[in-house]
Amino acid sequence: MKAIVAAELDPTFRDELAEKMKSLDFANCLACGACTAGCAFSDLHPDNDPRKMLRKVILGMREEILRDPFIWYCTMCERCTVECPMCVNIAAVTRAIRGNFRTDSPGFLQKVVDDTIRSGNQMDVQPDEYMETLEWLQEELQAELGDPDYRIPIDVEGADFLFGFNAREVKYYPNELQNILKIFYAAGANYTLSSQKWDATNLALFSGKDEDFWKITEPMLQEVVRLKTKELVVTECGHAFRSVRWGYRTFWKGPQFPIRSILEVLDEWIQQGRIKLDPTKNPEPVTLHDPCNLVRKEGVVEPQRRVLKAAVMDFREMFPNGRWNYCCGAGGGALAMPEYTEQRLIKGKRKVDQLLATGAKIVAIPCHNCMDQFNDLNKHYKLGMKMEHICSIVERALIMPEKKPKV
């Protein structure tokens, strides 16, 4: 960092940031550099160093911060915080700066946020498109299940859970939503979808604008109340799960209810015997990616491992894993910033090395955002691996219950 002169220091900046964050924990920084050591990418580019950014914040170097590329380079994965002896949350600092002091939102990040506020989902799926897709999936499942009476429950009051998913599962990957609904059928799940608010994703988690964030996530939580369900269950999407849980903890003032990942529910059903799996249907070696929002930030570590061990013959861990996993390189909204694609792929090389070390043929990726990055890495580095969501692996191993004769 260049020499600092007094004229560059703004003593009010730190106070303003603390007010926006409702926290001054970043002032506990010891300048020890543990965050830099913990960051998986600090050695890949000079502007990927969390310690340098935090030093500018603490010193009140407002203009330096407003120009610092780190603010958008950071994937907000919180691996630096895991290593920090004072638990300074640099991702939270980064988000607060993005949303309150920077006006240069790159790529199409803000456009996706604006589209979600306007249409209710990040893919701008119109209500008639959504209902037509569900009708088509219902017909497909009736044929696959051999059950002409099968219906996808929509707006059913009093169900055990409301299922919130990712708009891409409607727009681009309806086959994956079909797999999920088939598992629900096998488990005899008492659930419902919503006709009004069904997309649990929220890219304002990365843009940092709290007002936008709450406009997007509050309606998802309100649907739980409107439909009188016992809980909200969220699909395999790390940032969707993080968004509703963080929004619930931070802003929600309504009735209390649990919010769980679908992986936690699958784990419970397997242990209860509600769904039975044949792991021989998945004989190839499988490894698991730990999405930062799901694992490090929200603490869902073991359920997905138990599910995979029940669903596959050969499960192999990457190292490090769990809370100490490496970010895939596409967190923090990076996929919505095409100007940083080259850096995103360079960051992904660390994950690629982990994958290759396992010798696995299939990568289980419980996150849509991470899935897009892994597909890009697979192509860019010519890995020849198969990238799948856990629900697709479970569906392949699913032993369907015997049909009960109609009376």
pLDDT at 396: 98
The label of the residue with tokens 């929200």 reads 298
Whether residue 260 sits in one domain with residue 317:
no
Helix (H) or strand (E) holding 266: helix 262-272
Q: Are 98 and 208 in contact (CB under 8 A)?
A: yes
State the CATH number of the domain containing residue 385. 3.40.50
Predicted TM-score (pTM) of the model is 0.95
Average model confidence (pLDDT) for the chain? 95
Q: How many other CB atoms are found less than 10 A from the CB of residue 86?
A: 14
Whether residue 155 sits in one domain with residue 207:
yes
In a domain, 317, yes or no: yes
Q: What is the pLDDT of residues 235-273, one digit of tens each?
A: 999 999 999 999 999 999 999 999 999 999 999 999 999
Task: Describe the chain by its helix, strand, coil percentages, rounded to 5.
Answer: 50, 10, 40
Whether residue 329 sits in one domain with residue 308:
yes
Whether residue 192 sits in one domain with residue 120:
yes
Whether residue 262 sits in one domain with residue 113:
yes
pLDDT at 1 over 50: no
Helix (H) or strand (E) holding 387: strand 386-388
The mean-pLDDT minimum among 45-54, 87-96, 128-137, 200-209 falls in 45-54
Whether residue 113 sits in one domain with residue 94:
no
Whether residue 208 sits in one domain with residue 69:
no
Please, which residues bridge with residue 163 across strands? 233
Whether residue 264 sits in one domain with residue 129:
yes
Q: What is the pLDDT of residues 54-102, one digit of tens each?
A: 999 988 999 999 899 999 999 999 999 999 999 999 999 999 999 999 8
Please, which residues bridge with residue 192 across strands? 162
Whether residue 242 sits in one domain with residue 132:
yes
Domain endpoint, select from 83, 100, 117: 100
Helix (H) or strand (E) holding 286: strand 286-288
In a domain, 406, yes or no: no
In a domain, 20, yes or no: yes
pLDDT at 20: 87
Whether residue 208 sits in one domain with residue 161:
yes
Token pair for 290: 């730990």
Q: Are 72 and 340 in contact (CB under 8 A)?
A: yes
Question: Which domain range does residue 50 map to?
Answer: 7-100
Q: What is the pLDDT of residues 330-355, one digit of tens each?
A: 999 999 999 999 999 999 999 999 99
In a domain, 402, yes or no: no
Token pair for 228: 């009188």
Q: How many other CB atoms are found less than 10 A from the CB of residue 135?
A: 11
Q: What percent of the chain has pLDDT over 90?
A: 89
Number of domains, the chain: 3
In a domain, 404, yes or no: no
In a domain, 313, yes or no: yes
Q: What is the pLDDT of residues 137-148, one digit of tens each?
A: 999 999 999 999
Helix (H) or strand (E) holding 123: none
In a domain, 405, yes or no: no
